[in-house]
Amino acid sequence: MSSKRAIGIACVGLVLDRTLKYLAQTTPEYTEGVFTANHALGFKLHVNTVFAWSLPISNTVALWFALAVMAGLVIVLFKKRAHPEWTGLWLVLAGAISNIADRVLYGGVIDYIVIPFSGVVNVADLLIIVGVGLLVFPRKAYAH
């Protein structure tokens, strides 16, 4: 994938996440939650003031950790930005930017996608998960 396409996908993901976070915060119905008929999936505002997977790490420590990771990603991306295998890094960076903005603005990450028996996540979290997956399992590994 070209760098421009990877950056474009990351930017679309970032804008989608910020838009859904805005809707979750400003739409009264989402305080109670909106769910599918069988409660398989839902949309509900949740402010996560702890770290990923609800690890008991303070917002301040999580913020500094995320900023350090983001700084490292920016350095790598600007040195290797034309490299197509760095798509995963762009996705991780987009997700990190959105979640860091939440920690700074709201004191926690705004989550809104309810996954039964799992928890509440957001598009930024999904960007990070997919990005890490692309880094761990690069496309070349599947080429014949």
pLDDT value at 74 more than 50: yes
116 lies in a domain? no
117 lies in a domain? no
Domain residues for 95? 3-30+46-109+124-142
pLDDT value at 83 more than 70: no
21 lies in a domain? yes
Q: Over the stretch 90-132, which tens digit does the pLDDT of each residue have?
A: 899 899 999 999 989 998 899 999 988 778 899 999 999 999 9
Q: What is the pLDDT of residue 18?
A: 98
Q: What is the pLDDT of residue 81?
A: 56
81 lies in a domain? yes
How many other CB atoms are found less than 10 A from the CB of residue 42? 16
Contacts by residues 75-81 (CB-CB < 8 Å, ≥ 24 positions apart): 81/3
96 lies in a domain? yes
Q: How far apart are CA 126 and CA 135, in angstroms?
A: 14
Split into its structural domains, the chain has a count of: 1
